[in-house]
Structure 1
């Protein structure tokens, strides 16, 4: 079976950008989506410096149920690039957290996430975004993590999961989960390292002035 990284590398070899979709929903945690958005965007900018004639390695976009403003936590209004109806297929899907009451109780959102995750090569959650993936059964039998404050609730609500804490993220190849909020940045840098190499991931962290080191093998 072809590994997720080999699949993504093959896409880049064709000259096509990798499509990254980041879900938005009411009361989404701001850094949960903005942190990964910044990591992949900065990595793309640095990669272009090294290969100016190449296509952008990542095209990063936000997606929500509609294209109108989404009110994130603390009242920040965000305008998604795509609605569910016109979103492309994403190679990498990121499901952030925050107050996840709305997406967990909205069949349209759950259906879209399930379909998008099935089409994606890699799916990742940040913070309580793990609850959305868990509700869809995508985490059953896997080792996962979430925000430290929500670990007990994830264990109680989804006993088929092996929920661990005190780690920034868990990498299971095609599926990753991260701990709370800023841990999404750590996980995203890790993914940059997986896809484009540790050197570019380090350069991205340095450009962002973020203290980061690769997870030990």
Structure 2
């Protein structure tokens, strides 16, 4: 079964936060094609506006559609970066709330956790974010149980990861979860990425 994945794109997004999971899902599809299996992911880059975003560092990245597109997704990934404007954008928060009930998984990378928190999608279950922002996340939303020292936390329907490169680990974990551990290890090997497959609580 192929899962539809939306990656939210916005100005000042951290490049690896967004492009890291994209690369993992893309390579996982290539690994599947080589073995004659169905591709496990269909990834869509979703912008707030219908234009290329300017990521941190100045990289321009095009989008496939916008949050005005009424389609649903099985998986929604919110990357981090400079998220103040996104966290305060009512259109984005309503889009996330609208997707939450039907999505199999909503996930964040790095400071994307702040966007999920602003949308009211995080609850009393453990969450994580970039090590620099752990205290701030807990201060802004005192009800959250913020964990440090983990690469990612997956609750089945909700997942958060630590900073930047941790999004690779979370995405590989999701490949393992849905396509099998061998497929995830083959994906990591193809990427020349040192990933043990160890799961974090």
TM-score range, shorter chain: over 0.9
Q: Work out the CA distance in 2 between the residues paired with 1:149 and 1:80.
A: 29
Q: Work out the CA distance in 1 between the residues paired with 2:114 and 2:145.
A: 13
| Corresponding position of 1:85 | 68
Match of 2:119 among 132, 136, 161: 136
| Corresponding position of 1:185 | 168
Q: Work out the CA distance in 1 between the residues paired with 2:199 and 2:18.
A: 25
Match of 1:145 among 124, 128, 133: 128
| Corresponding position of 1:169 | 152
| Corresponding position of 2:52 | 69
Matches within 5 A, 1:7-156: 12=1, 17-51=2-36, 54=38, 56-86=39-69, 88-156=71-139
User: 1:104 offset after TM fit, Å?
Assistant: 1.0
Please report the TM-score for the alignment, with normalisation by the length of structure 1. Answer: 0.89
User: 1:117 offset after TM fit, Å?
Assistant: 2.6
User: 1:216 offset after TM fit, Å?
Assistant: 4.5
| Corresponding position of 1:8 | none
CA contact (8 A) 2:88 2:118 kept: no
Match of 2:142 among 159, 166, 179: 159
Q: Paired residues, what number?
A: 200
Q: Which runs of 5+ in 1 are unaligned?
A: 1-11
Tell me, what secondary structure is at the counterpart of 1:133? Answer: helix
Tell me, what secondary structure is at the counterpart of 1:23? Answer: strand
Q: Per-residue CA shift, 1:144-163, capped at 9, x if unaligned?
A: 00000000000101111100
Structure 1 or 2: larger helix share?
1
Worse overlay, 102-111 or 203-212: 102-111
Tell me, what secondary structure is at the counterpart of 1:28? Answer: coil
Q: Work out the CA distance in 2 between the residues paired with 1:196 and 1:175.
A: 18
CA contact (8 A) 1:25 1:102 kept: no
Q: Work out the CA distance in 1 between the residues paired with 2:169 and 2:111.
A: 16
Q: Work out the CA distance in 1 between the residues paired with 2:176 and 2:84.
A: 33
User: 1:118 offset after TM fit, Å?
Assistant: 2.6
CA contact (8 A) 2:25 2:43 kept: yes
Worse overlay, 100-109 or 196-205: 100-109
User: 1:87 offset after TM fit, Å?
Assistant: 5.4
Aligned CA RMSD, in angstroms, stands at 1.2
